[in-house]
Amino acid sequence: MKTIKSSLPFIGVSSLLLLLSPLANAADMSNMDHSSMDMSGDMSNMDHSGMDMSGDMSDMDHSSMDMSGDMSDMDHSSMDMLGMDHGSMDMSGMQGGAAPVDARSPDYSNGVGYGEFGKPMMMGSMPLWGVSVDKLGYQFDEDQINFEAEGWYGTDSNRITLRTEGSAQTKDDKEIDSLTSLAYWKPLGIFWNGEAGIAYDTQNDKSAVMAGIVGTAPYFVETDARAYLYTDGQVRLDLGTAYEWRLDQHWVVIPEIELTAFSKEDTDNGITKGFNEFETEVRLTYETLNRQLSPYVGFSYESALGDARDLRRQQNQAVDSSSVTAGLMFWF
């Protein structure tokens, strides 16, 4: 009994030392220098699932740690690395570096020739040309030929256009009144195009600077507005709109309206300030030859506006006129 009683204090002290030894080891590891640790061996069979790395590792020096060994089988599923700072880690070497200068040629040909046909070109970048005659008809009551035509050359982004419109008398002195312009054309948006250039008016024998907007208004209404600044300071404004009302695959009805206005009076040429003339025409066309040729018949009406009516009366000219028309529309 004495032996048993004397051994109990010894057992208690031993147990206390065993409990305190892990705490002492943990305290010693916080100040350990890992810079000389060699981890180049095979660590593939090591189990890190029970390792607790949630503590403060900011003071640990890992700069000299060699981890070049095979660590593919290591289990890092339980490692808590949320507290680690990766801001200064250099990972540029993992991206493979910059691509070689000759990795791909600028035209994406990769050194392969184009053969006898040469380098391909996008359709929008290829210069093309076209001619469109929107009106070439005879007015029976007025005994004159009306015309409106346009030709262009260029791409979908830049073009040069030549446009002319007017009328030619078929009796008496056979006078020709026309307004012809040479302009630079460029898209302003999906539905609108801009024009700027020079023009010449045979009616008053003057040249002008021209600028305009041409496009498609909502509901597919073709709209154009052009302003002309003449050498004498006169400004002319032409407004026009037209709509193609398709009855079937070939028959089309086209109503059209035009307005003309001037900035100042010019009695020598029958011009007054403000709106001078109103023109409207309705044409029934039949499209043939892949819709490139369309004969038409129609009815036209012209009227003077404002002070221009009084001026025309003073000059013994007609104030209003109407006529049956017939002609052709074509493009190529």
| CB neighbourhood size of 22 (10 A) | 9
* Amino acid sitting at position 272: T
Strand partners, 215: 192, 223
Sequence-ordered strand ranges (E) for 218-265: 221-230, 235-242, 245-246, 251-262
Contact (CB, 8 A) for 145 and 112:
no
**C-alpha angle 184-187-190 in degrees, rounded to nearest 5:** 160
Tell me the pLDDT tens digit for each residue of 13-56: 455 555 555 555 544 554 555 455 555 445 545 555 555 554 45
The confidence score (pLDDT) of residue 86 equals: 58
Give the type of residue at 108: Y
Dihedral of CA 103/107/109/113: which sign? negative
Distance between CA atoms of 4 and 324, rounded to whole angstroms? 139
Query: What tokens appear for 72 in the block?
Result: 């593919």
Domains of the chain in start order, with CATH, are 125-331 (2.40.160.40)
**Mind listing the pLDDT tens digit of every residue in the chain (332 residues)?**
444 444 444 444 455 555 555 555 544 554 555 455 555 445 545 555 555 554 455 455 555 555 555 555 555 555 555 556 655 666 555 556 676 666 666 666 666 777 777 777 777 678 999 999 999 999 999 899 999 999 999 998 999 999 999 999 988 878 899 999 999 999 999 999 999 999 999 988 999 999 999 999 999 999 999 999 999 999 999 999 999 999 999 999 999 999 999 999 998 888 999 999 999 999 999 999 889 999 999 999 999 999 999 999 998 988 999 999 999 999 99
Length of the chain: 332
**Which phi and psi angles does 27 have, rounded to 5°?**
-65, -40
Is residue 133 within 8 A of residue 330, CB to CB? The reply is yes
